Chains A and B, each alone.
Chain A
């Protein structure tokens, strides 16, 4: 190896190390702060010592954190499930069927992706108000039941689905609806799982829309965080503890299903 390529390698590693520390440090600091004793919250020591769970106790006492976490989970799971189902049905139709205006419809579907959230949030808000769904979880979930991203990704995935397999299933006596569930879904399950995880994480991290719909209550944990920020200053300890709890499911999901998630992101980027 020449010194030149060696130098380049070392530089690469240094840059990557610096970047990962920059990414990971805030998260570390979040958990470190949440584990400090209440008096030490503003301490700048790298290692929190002595450890204390007092902040977590305060978070649970102050606020219904458990209920908020459960609500967040419901919102995330239901919107992801809805998006997955709509995406699957639409993508299947677009990929397996030929019908008039197929391209146009598909482009319109995907075009909704280009419409910024800010353009649709007010009409959606007004509609929810008319329907009396403000301040409800349903109001958070329903406008998010369909995502162009889900349709786009699944359609691209199904475009590569072997057509002979669909033909074989038809010859073997299955209706189109049956083929979807007995052939297509089992075969593309890895892709569905990956997309599902992506959608759950996105929905879990959603802040702005729940904040609009749920202005009075603190029904999801991301909003619960607000209650620790007051005019007299922020209650850092419990705030960090709640934030830590809010991140936890995503981290766990990530650690357990790392391979799937990386795949999902790569797919969404490359295909």
Chain B
């Protein structure tokens, strides 16, 4: 298995910059998920790692070799496509064995390897079928088998689960995670599904408009989002973002907006500073002595949980909690959140703000 390094990778299509100066280091055996909305450049980035698309600038390194100009067939990486891209004229066995035939391995060798991979993926009974005679999940496994059979240095997967129904997606997700553990494989996995990212990844890189907004473990990107974009992209419903001001009060620093007054738990003074306050719906709790005074506008049932949509001042806030919340539209509620669950962002750049030290007068941008 290989380490994959991307150094300043950039790709422009005419005036569109699809991938913008991406630096990533995928360690040997890591499952890195590239997460981002549609059109943010995930596929473009993956195709550059595969060698299917030449970068406008930057380098791709496999282990210590610069492969930026090496054609795909001579890079030691395998790819699983979103459409599966199975060869319609070949049987399952033919599809799985295709990369080995291209490498002119002996027939016996190919048969042995195909049988082995098919066994591992539960495809043994289907070896003689054509792709059109398979279900979506089976096709997906054949596509996986075709990548596995090569023993590549790294796997690239472009939304491999997006054509499956919800239940199959959950089981296949677990299968791929298990495969990753069993093989110790290096995997770069593209998805726009945050659940896939959170559950499978050893590290997540969140992309927006071709740039890496944040790279870190799933817990890091969820608990300490580096920007408003990352904060609102992860989590359902999305993190509440409210324009507010940080002011000094007798009880320390407080973040304020209309009908909203939450202590930050920092004993310091500061001139007023405009910020964007972020708080996740599940971190807002109902309370008698409110930091936020709100009116419920609607309640959604998610099964195990309920989401109450509230209005505080001119803003709407989502509150998520175990069902039943015992709320109805029109109710007046008080809400609060613990200081460690309050995120502050710069209104101009959208970057995360942290206190460098307790006595610095203004919140500082965290450049880390």
Chain A residues close to B by CB (< 8 Å): 162, 164-165, 167-175, 178, 183, 186-187, 189
Contact = CB atoms under 8 A, between A and B. Distances in A.
B178 to A, nearest CB: 23
B73 A173 contact: yes
Contact of B99 (A165, A167, A172, A183): A172
A69 to B, nearest CB: 35
B85 interface: yes
A155 B81 CA distance: 24
A171 B78 contact: yes
B139 to A, nearest CB: 13
Contacts of A168: 79, 81, 85, 87, 146
- Chain A binding site: helix, strand, loop or mixed by DSSP? helix
B87 A165 contact: yes
A125 to B, nearest CB: 43
B222 interface: no
Contacts of A169: 87, 98, 102
Contacts of B89: 186-187, 189
B94 to A, nearest CB: 10
Given A168-B79, A175-B73, A187 B88 contact: yes
Contact of B52 (A170, A173, A183): A170
B102 A162 contact: no
B29 interface: no
A169, A178, A187 — most chain B CB neighbours (10 Å): A169
A171 B88 contact: no
A13 B52 CA distance: 56
Interface in B80-100: 81-83, 85, 87-89, 98-99
Contact of A162 (B52, B83, B99, B103): B83
Nearest to A173: B102
Counting from the closest, the 10 A-B pairs by CB-CB distance are A173-B102, A168-B85, A172-B99, A164-B85, A186-B89, A173-B73, A164-B81, A171-B79, A170-B72, A174-B102
Interface in B53-82: 71-73, 77-79, 81-82
20 contacts: A162-B85, A164-B81, A164-B82, A165-B87, A167-B72, A167-B81, A168-B85, A170-B73, A171-B72, A171-B78, A171-B79, A172-B73, A172-B98, A172-B99, A172-B150, A173-B73, A173-B102, A186-B87, A186-B89, A187-B88
Interface string B37-54: 000000000010010100
Given A164-B82, A168-B79, A186-B87, 5 more contacts: A168-B85, A170-B52, A170-B73, A173-B102, A173-B103
Contacts of B103: 173
B78, B87, B88, B150 — most chain A CB neighbours (10 Å): B87
Nearest to A167: B52
Contacts of B85: 162, 164-165, 167-168
A3 B103 CA distance: 70
Contact of A171 (B50, B82, B83, B87): B50
Nearest to B78: A171
Nearest to A186: B89
B99 A173 contact: yes
Nearest to A178: B102
Interface string B140-154: 000000100010000
A172 B52 CA distance: 12
A130 B146 CA distance: 56
Contact of B73 (A164, A165, A174, A183): A174
B83 A172 contact: no
Contacts of B52: 167, 170-171
Contacts of A165: 85, 87
A167 B86 CA distance: 11
B52, B79, B85 — most chain A CB neighbours (10 Å): B85
B106 to A, nearest CB: 16
B268 to A, nearest CB: 56
Nearest to A164: B85
Nearest to A172: B99
Contacts of A172: 73, 98-99, 102, 146, 150
A164, A168, A178, A186 — most chain B CB neighbours (10 Å): A168
A173 B150 CA distance: 10
A167 B158 CA distance: 13
A132 B57 CA distance: 57
Contacts of B77: 171
Contacts of A183: 87
Nearest to A170: B72
Contacts of B99: 171-173
Interface in B86-139: 87-89, 98-99, 102-103
A175 B102 CA distance: 9
B100 to A, nearest CB: 9
Contacts of A187: 87-89
A183 B88 CA distance: 9
A64 to B, nearest CB: 43
Contacts of A162: 83, 85
Contacts of A164: 81-83, 85
